[in-house]
Structure 1
Amino acid sequence: MGDGERKPVCVGVVTGAHGVRGLVRVKPFTEEPEAVAAYGPVATKDGKRRFAIETKGMAKDLVICRLEGIADRDAAAALRGTELYVPRERLPETDEDEEGWYHADLVGLRAVGTDGTGYGRIAAVQNFGAGDLLEIAPEGGGETVLMAFTDENVPEVDIEGGKVVIDPPLGTFGDEASGAGDD
């Protein structure tokens, strides 16, 4: 994906206000939760708003942050659902022995079966608390499909080739043909 290096990476999402002085709760997507503020100012997905960010503490699995220019509870609450992005250049390089990519790199890649079947494109990588899920937009249209992002279901990620090789469990795509490796 030629422009993959320039795509900003989402480091967290505002889940709501914290207190009355403009602090926000942020669900971090960084390996270390506090690192959500470690890469400098954050921006909204469209890049129209930028905030200096500072961590103020933790509340369960959320990071309490101050965003520059947000001074009261109403302004903080209005940011609920806002994804916070940083330019990829600010993030550490991935190690050769690690995955070598960020979740943001997967969005838009083709989802191809181990047998070459085209299933669609990766629409998002989700995590609702029980592990990463690939959200796949089916090739023929229709509702997206969620599939556990495990080594068994996703034997290969080929960023350079523009694809993710999948072996979906039987019935994932609503037909009995999926799940080639489930014999």
Structure 2
Amino acid sequence: MSTELNLEPAQLPADAIEVGRIADAWGVKGWFKVLSHNAAPEALFAAKRWYVQPSEKGARTFSGTALLEIRQVRPHSDTIVAWAQGIDDRNAAEALRGARIFVPRADFPKAEADEYYWVDLIGLEVVNREGVALGQVRDLMSTGPQTVLVLAHEQDGKPVERMIPFVSAFVDKVELPERRITVDWQPDY
């Protein structure tokens, strides 16, 4: 049985960040499960407008970018469930399965002092206290008790990775406007 989705076409905002995916329908009234890309999914809870695009794999029930006006979103067990305008039954929710969820960066809640969204750290240059360039943040990795900056840099003309724990013992300051992180770290560590 195919369901015709009546989604509002939309233009993906320039500052849109992919924050999760729709996993499956939840219940019979149009709710759906969401898999967040982040352990702390504040952006999903704060934004009332989600932009969705179909999954790269599997059947596509819509194309392009669509806007979901979010009625409710809440934690449920080990997942997140949401309900959107126009998604009023299980079939409609199932038709969204696999959809990628984007939220404009401007809609993210303001981070507390000394807290940063990972997306804001990607691409920042990392230098040590002596001003030696250590690399550029390519990724972040959660190791359980701490987060690690994964830097891309060149050594002897070859691309290599450097990892630095993102903890106050090693990170002196993060300067988002200057796109720089200063650390207490030596190139030979």
TM-score, with structure 1 as normaliser: 0.62
Q: Note the C-alpha offset of 1:15.
A: 6.6
Question: Equivalents in 2 of 1:15, 1:145: separation in Å?
Answer: 34
Residue 116 (structure 1) aligns with:
131
Question: Equivalents in 2 of 1:137, 1:23: separation in Å?
Answer: 38
Unaligned 5+ residue runs, structure 1? Answer: 1-5, 179-183
Residue 161 (structure 1) aligns with:
178
CA contact (8 A) 1:123 1:137 kept: yes
CA contact (8 A) 2:127 2:180 kept: yes
Residue 181 (structure 1) aligns with:
none
Q: Which residue, 36, 39, 54 being the options, matches 2:44?
A: 36
Q: Return closer, same or farther for 1:144/1:17 CA change in 2, 3 Å cut-off.
A: farther
Unaligned 5+ residue runs, structure 2? Answer: 1-13, 54-63
Q: Note the C-alpha offset of 1:44.
A: 5.2
Q: Note the C-alpha offset of 1:157.
A: 0.6
SS in 1 for 2:96: helix
Q: Whose strand fraction is larger, Structure 1's or Structure 2's? A: 2
Question: Equivalents in 1 of 2:178, 2:108: separation in Å?
Answer: 23
Residue 85 (structure 1) aligns with:
103
Q: Return closer, same or farther for 1:41/1:155 CA change in 2, 3 Å cut-off.
A: same
Q: Note the C-alpha offset of 1:158.
A: 1.5
After the TM superposition, which parts of structure 1 deviate over 6 Å for at least 4 consecutive aligned residues? none
Q: Which residue, 149, 156, 166 being the options, matches 1:134?
A: 149
Question: Equivalents in 2 of 1:144, 1:54: separation in Å?
Answer: 43
Q: Return closer, same or farther for 1:108/1:34 CA change in 2, 3 Å cut-off.
A: closer
SS in 2 for 1:119: strand
Q: Note the C-alpha offset of 1:128.
A: 6.1
Q: Note the C-alpha offset of 1:39.
A: 2.3
Q: Return closer, same or farther for 1:130/1:63 CA change in 2, 3 Å cut-off.
A: farther
Question: Equivalents in 2 of 1:34, 1:100: separation in Å?
Answer: 13
Q: Note the C-alpha offset of 1:110.
A: 0.4
Q: Note the C-alpha offset of 1:27.
A: 2.3
Residue 14 (structure 1) aligns with:
21
Higher mean alpha-carbon deviation, 60-69 vs 146-155, is at: 60-69
Q: Note the C-alpha offset of 1:149.
A: 1.4
Question: Equivalents in 2 of 1:143, 1:51: separation in Å?
Answer: 41
Q: Return closer, same or farther for 1:121/1:27 CA change in 2, 3 Å cut-off.
A: same
Q: Note the C-alpha offset of 1:104.
A: 2.5
Which amino acid in the other structure matches residue 64 of structure 1? V
Question: Equivalents in 1 of 2:144, 2:131: separation in Å?
Answer: 31
Residue 66 (structure 1) aligns with:
83
CA contact (8 A) 1:37 1:53 kept: no
SS in 2 for 1:116: coil
Which amino acid in the other structure matches residue 73 of structure 1? E
Aligned residues: 158
Question: Equivalents in 1 of 2:172, 2:151: separation in Å?
Answer: 16
